Amino acid sequence: MKINISNLSEGTHNYEFEENPSAIELDERFSKQVIVRVEIEKRRRQLFLTGHVKTAGTFCCDRCLDDFEKNVDVDYRMTYVYEKPDDGELEGSPEEGDEITVIHESTNEIDIAEDVREYILLSVPMKLLCRDDCAGLCGNCGANLNRETCVCPKSDIDPRWEELKKIINKN
């Protein structure tokens, strides 16, 4: 996912990439092609990159342990600034959340593969759920409560909570 910037004219330029997940070192959870659309706005001393990344992966639900497919759809922005700008300031202002990378004047290309990889991984939630209302597993018998009804007695109370039950029953 390299973009040649050596002879890039000022203005807006669009690029599209399609890669296998393994080509950008994503793990085996990611099964679909990684599609990246990039728009670069070149100014005299800076490049403003806006990227949109799409892929999908198979993940394990944290509640019920079933595998499920999840689409990954993420936007990101990068600003590339050449070393030693003439006036010492940016020609345009990066938007909040933009990453800024300083590049040397002799840089001929920028490789966005690592940035794409990082943004994909950062967009995967820490708590993976097959759906928002996933019922999970029964704590006693291990039944998947999304597919079956558990027959465990519901009156069992953890003995650590017995004192609270006594307080509630007084009222």
The pLDDT tens digits of the residues spanning 109-150 come to: 999 999 999 999 999 999 999 999 999 998 888 899 999 988
| Cβ atoms within 10 Å, residue 78 | 20
Confidence of residue 103 (pLDDT cuts 50, 70, 90): confident
The pLDDT of residue 159: 77
Rounded Cα–Cα distance for residues 62 and 71 (Å): 17
The pLDDT of residue 53: 96
Q: Lowest mean pLDDT: which of 23-27, 47-51, 115-119, 157-161?
A: 157-161
Confidence of residue 94 (pLDDT cuts 50, 70, 90): low
The pLDDT of residue 64: 95
The pLDDT of residue 127: 94
Confidence of residue 17 (pLDDT cuts 50, 70, 90): very high
> In the chain, what percentage of residues exceed pLDDT 90?
58
Confidence of residue 168 (pLDDT cuts 50, 70, 90): confident
The pLDDT of residue 54: 96
Rounded Cα–Cα distance for residues 82 and 89 (Å): 11
Rounded Cα–Cα distance for residues 87 and 90 (Å): 8
Predicted structure pTM score? 0.75
